[in-house]
Every structure is written in C-alpha cells, then in structure tokens.
Amino acid sequence: MGGTAMRIAIASFEDETMTFMNEPTTEQRFEPGVRRGWDVIDKNRGLPTYINGFIQVLEAEGVEMVPIIEANKFNTPGPFSSWITAECFEKYACEITNGLKCCGNVDGVLLALHGAMAVSGVPKPEAEIVRRVKSCVGDKPVMVTLDLHANEDHELTDAADAVFVLKTYPHVDSEQIGSTAAKCMLDTLHGQFKPTQSLMKPGLIIASIYQASEHYPMKHIYDRCREWEQVDAVRCVSCAPGFAYADVPDVGMSVIAVTNDAPELAREVCEDVCALAWSLRDEFSTPLPEPREGVAEVMQLVARGEKPVVIADGADRIGDSTHILRELLLQRASNWCVPQMADCEASRMLEANHHLGDTVSIRVGGWYGEHSGKPVEITGKIEFMGRPRYTLNGPMNRGMSIQERFVSRLNLGQNRHVVVSETTRSVLDSSALEAVGIDVSSLDIIALKSRVHHRAFWDNVAKVNFPIDAPGYREIADLSNLEYNNIPSDIYPIGRKWRKDG
C-alpha cells in the first residue's frame, strides 16, 4: 500500500441484554461510560480488552488508527435493564456511521460488538450495524470481535468479512482475539489473505453456568476448534455458546469458521463442530441441586475434608438473594462467608446508627422480589465498616483498582461472615474478601453469587466448585423456568418441540 499510511477505523457498541428484566435500556444507561475519539484508545491502552488488541497490532505496523466510539453500559455501574430502545440503538449506530462519513477514507473497520444486544424492533442488531458500516465504506473489509455470550446467525457473517469470538469463560483472551482480528485485517489489506467464512447453529440454548471453557463439555469443543486451526487454510474457529437470557430469534450456540479463500472448508469445519456440540447436548443441562440439598452436600464435602468449597449461586446478580444464606444458617454450617449481600437500606442503617465493634441484629436481603427469597435476620458483631479500596489480584482484570461504596462485615460467630453492601459487589478473586478483613484460609465455604467468572481465581483456591440452582432473576440454570416467545421452536432442550408439556 506504499506511500500513505494505512488507516483503520475502530468502533465498539456492546451489550449483553437480559430481556427478562423490567426497565428498558435507554441512552442514560450507556452515556456516562461512552468514550469518543482518542479517549477510546487512551482508556483501553494496556488493559485486557479487544480494543487494546487492535491497538497493539496496528501501532506495531505503523497503521493510523481512527477511533470513533465505544459504547457499553457495563462501563457505568447501574441497575440491570432490559431491551434496548430503538432510539438508543439508533443514536450509537448513527454515531458510528456518521464518524465513518466524516473521518475521510479508511482502509478497513474493526468493530468490537459483544453480540448479545437485544433491541426493540431490530431483530439482529449486530448484523444491522455491520450492514450500515458496509454501506459507508463500500468494499473495504469490516471485521468483528464478539464475546462468547453472543447470539448471532448467518446475517452477521453475511455482512461482515470476518468474525472472531472469545474462547475463554472466564474471559481472559479479549486482547488476544482483538489482535487476531487486527492481524487478519492487515493480512487481508496486504493481499495475503482472502477471508471466507461460515456460521452454523447446532440448535442449542445453554445456561451460562454450563459454559466454563476449561471444563467438559465446552473444553472438548474448544479443543476441536483448536485442532481445526492447525489446518493450513483455517484462520480461526469459534464457538459462541450464546447468551440464553435473551428472548431473541438468533439465541443459542453459534460456530464460526474463518478460512483463507476456502468457503467449502469453512462449512465443513462448522458442520463438524456443530455435530460434536449436538452430541454433547445433554451435558449442557444436567440438573443442579437446589439450595437445601446443595448446602447439605457441601457440608458433607467439608466434613470429609474436601474444602474449601466455593458455592456458585449463579442466579443472583441483584445481590439480594437469601436462599443460600438461609440454608447455611438453618443447617448450622460454620467457617463460611457470604460476601455479597447487597441491601442498600440495611447498609445505610448500619452506617447511620452503628460503629465498629457493635453487636447488631438486622434483616438483610430479599427486597427485590419474590424470587429473591424472604429477608433473613442475622445477629453479629461489626468487624469492618467503610469504603474499601483495593486492586484485583486474580487472572481476570488483574491490576484493576476498585473503589467500593459503603460496606459492613458482620461476624455471626463460629467464623461466619456476612458482608452487607450498598450496591452489588463482585468477588472475582480474594481481594474483595481481604479488603473487608476476612481470612480466606480460615474458611470452609465461600458462597459466591457468580456463574463462571469467579473460577479463573477460585478454582486454584477451592477443592470443589459447587454450583447451586437457587431461584433468581438472572442466569438461572434451568431455562424451562423462563418464558420465551421469540426463540426457535426446535431449539434444544426448551423449544416447543422438545417440551413434554407440549
């Protein structure tokens, strides 16, 4: 391309929309965290993100970057919200296309899209974004990165030149996938690569808790993807198990193969990986224990010395669920912590009326709705109060600094700890426990509100990771408890075709 430097536009519009919540997602949820222009580059540099992957590759090759926008509601703390409004979608989609129209000629576009956006009135939002981008840049290549919680179908791969998806859950390869996409873009522009691809769906909808990438059955599938990537003309083979908590027509697993001028081979790869996934279909819905039997089993494990045990209550992202806490109390377990009891009212009451060292009786949790369980009465000594500030120490987001809002830790005796917080806490690693004075090595049971992300750190600490399927508002394991209207009737195992109740 000698002479003038190559120019690549970068844009990101990401969401993982849980469509079973009440409030729609408007631009107010996105706007505080939106980055524009060079802020997109500055805020991502050095972080484990797709965009930093783009930056690393493009800068090393002396390519001029043209950053447009990064819109992601998870950059702003706030309540979980449902369907994105059409107005909100239009706003950011138009900012991308306007940015492309105003920035002069570009040689290609890299888009980080996540892939699980659900928009009222726009059935396949990511495909729509790519089609609009294409209409701005003509035959210039447009390449896309996705989270593996992406719900997509062939409309996306028909529109984009190449699509690349994470292979890790917990997600630790975002930067790597960003670099893969950027390298593929440069090879394509240099005429050394001709992207051809295929996307196929095996017809599976899978709860998040079954999607851990380093464990059977997903590991089996990713191993097959990696095997295919050893074949000469195969550039990247992805399997996105999808985001099940969205009532959308393209929900569920997708397999995507990007090949070098070999469309037939791309199809063959997809067929093979889809057949493997289908053969494993029942492994993705093995029933999990409910809170009562689950906690009883955990206590048996502890009694046998199989400890510490991490309980993963995957359904509760509000942070107010009391099902596990209640069972730990009723069944008289000791040496445990429940470090994520989000209860704004209780937290403010503690801050206003109590001091370190006070013994208090207080009702916590159970405020969001019926699935949260009833509030639980606890009595304990306040051993920590404050707004902890610390640095994450595990494989996910290592080095990121956290400043929490007000948090209190109550010791209920027998080394039993409940951490009451103003807003939902995340416990990706031990730093969130140490910051409130919990001695992790003294615990038998660590009861987390998480599905898979915690495993990047806690699998190295815990003897057993023990998922329990408590009721909740998000990401429950048994999808037959959710009411879908838009998913394909033959999707396994909860489409109409497979339901015993017809």
Tell me which residues touch Zn ion (CB under 5 A): 147, 149
Judged by beta carbon, residue 211 or residue 340, the one nearer Zn ion is: 211
Q: How far is the CB of 149 from Zn ion (least distance, A)?
A: 4
**Helix-, strand-, coil-residue percentages of the chain, each rounded to 5:** 35, 25, 45
Contact 277, 294 (CB under 8 A): no
3-state secondary structure of 239: strand
Judged by beta carbon, residue 150 or residue 350, the one nearer Zn ion is: 150
Judged by beta carbon, residue 171 or residue 201, the one nearer Zn ion is: 171
Q: How far is the CB of 207 from Zn ion (least distance, A)?
A: 13
Q: How far apart are the first and last CA of the chain?
A: 60
Which residues are registered as beta bridge partners of 64? 7
Q: How far is the CB of 211 from Zn ion (least distance, A)?
A: 9
Judged by beta carbon, residue 149 or residue 425, the one nearer Zn ion is: 149
Q: How far is the CB of 126 from Zn ion (least distance, A)?
A: 14
Residue 169: name the closest of 114, 213, 218 by CA.
213
- Distance separating alpha carbons of residues 124 and 486, to the nearest angstrom: 12
Taking the CA atoms of 96, 98, 102 and 107 in sequence, report the sign of the dihedral they define. Answer: positive
Q: How many residues does the chain have?
A: 502
Q: How far is the CB of 455 from Zn ion (least distance, A)?
A: 13
Q: How far is the CB of 475 from Zn ion (least distance, A)?
A: 11
Locus of tokens 């689950």: 294
Judged by beta carbon, residue 161 or residue 173, the one nearer Zn ion is: 173
Locus of tokens 């995340």: 426
Q: What b-and-e string marks burial along 312-339, b requiring 16 or more CB atoms within 10 Å of the CB?
A: bbbbbbbbbbbbbbbbbbeeebebbbbb
Judged by beta carbon, residue 112 or residue 346, the one nearer Zn ion is: 112
Q: How far is the CB of 252 from Zn ion (least distance, A)?
A: 15
Judged by beta carbon, residue 147 or residue 175, the one nearer Zn ion is: 147
Contact 79, 49 (CB under 8 A): no
- Which single residue brings its beta carbon nearest to Zn ion? 149
